[in-house]
Amino acid sequence: MSLLLSIGLAAALGATQVRTEYLPAGEPGQRVALHCIEPAAPARHAVLFVHGASFPTLLAAGFEFAPGDSWMAFMARRGYLACGLDFLGFGASSRPPAMAGRAAADAPVTRAPEAAREIGLAVDALHATRGMTVHLVAHSWGTIPAAAYAAGHPATLASLTLFGPVVPDGAQEAPTQQAWWSITAEERYRQLLFADVLPKDMRLLEPAVTSRWAAAFEASAPHVPGDAPGQLRIPAGPLADIAEVQRGDYPYDAGQVTVPVFAVYGDHDNIVDDTHAAAFLTRFSHSPLVWRLRIDHGSHVMHLERYRDSLYRSVEAFIEAAEAQRP
């Protein structure tokens, strides 16, 4: 990602509290961005947020509804080092070479196993440079690589929160075979309204999302010469992962996850519901603590909506419960 693009994204988001460091990842010259907000006092624990399939950390857990008002900032005020990772192909992280070519010329970019390795880079950095325990909080597609990382590295995390997890639902959609897909910022914003999911006349998005989110999304990705005006290229690996998991094909064994697990979602989430969430959590048979919570008046992007405080506080309560169980 260019310096100019980084500056533009930061300015659009007003993220003055956020410190960003870059970790080498993937091919030579590639790196992932780790954004962090420091608490007022030295912290012993870190919360690491990972984003979903289409937009990066500073448009998700790091999005500022007002100066100092984001999910990351909330956790920093509660005494945690609050960090968010941009996967390769998103936000301030590098764009893999395949994203510069034709979409059909390469396999889907940023699949779950690769993303799990990138989570490992961030966790290792927090352990090595800070000596911290890490609570992992993932959203949507991000729950797939997050659970895969937790299954493969059972001793490195303190807890795993799965917000709006992707679960099997019987869908038979064929996974994409392209490296990337594209969308405009305004089209993606319109999807966040969930007009076809929410009851008639219900609007849940925060006003700041309506006024500023699309511009920030526009600034978060480079524009490739020759693409249609406003089109943003997005890695297609997450779409391939989602299609496979919805058919019941997981890239991990949930029975190998040995940390506390929390599944949380809104009552209007169109990806997961009570029945599917309950069945999904039975697979985490070796987790010492398993919570499940449905929050009313929330969609799949509840962290951008007016009842987001309920989400923040429920995740904080779970993390505190997980900490209380530690030796």
Q: What is the pLDDT of residues 146-160, one digit of tens each?
A: 999 999 998 999 999
How many contiguous H segments (helices) and E segments (strands) does the chain have?
10, 10
To the nearest 10°, the Cα dihedral for 125, 128, 130, 134?
A: 60
pLDDT of residue 250: 96
Provide the pLDDT for residue 210. Answer: 97
**175, 243 contact by CB (below 8 A):** yes
Residue 82's pLDDT band (boundaries 50, 70, 90)?
Answer: very high
pLDDT in tens, 35-55: 999 999 999 999 999 999 999
Q: Which tokens sit at 36?
A: 């962090």
E-only strand ranges, 169-260: 180-184, 231-235
Is residue 176 predicted with pLDDT exceeding 90?
no
Model confidence band, residue 79 (pLDDT cutoffs 50, 70, 90): very high
pLDDT value of position 130: 81
pLDDT reading at 7 higher than 60: no
pLDDT higher than 60, residue 142: yes
pLDDT at 285: 97
Q: Residue 113 — very low, low, confident or very high, per pLDDT cuts 50/70/90? A: very high
pLDDT, average across residues 294-305: 98
pLDDT (0 to 100) of residue 131:
86
pLDDT of 326 strictly over 90: no
SS3 267: coil
Q: Residue 16 in contact with residue 67, Cβ under 8 Å?
A: yes
Q: pLDDT value at position 2?
A: 38
pLDDT digits (tens, 9 = 90+) for 191-230: 999 999 999 989 999 999 999 999 999 999 999 999 999 9
pLDDT at residue 273, as a whole number: 96
pLDDT at site 172:
72
Confidence of residue 129 (pLDDT cuts 50, 70, 90): confident
Choose the CATH number for 3-325 among 3.10.180.10, 1.20.1050.10, 3.40.50.1820, 3.30.1660.40. 3.40.50.1820
Interval 63-73 mean pLDDT: 97
Q: Give the strand order in the sheet containing 81-86.
A: 19-24, 31-37, 81-86, 45-50, 133-139, 159-163, 261-266, 290-295
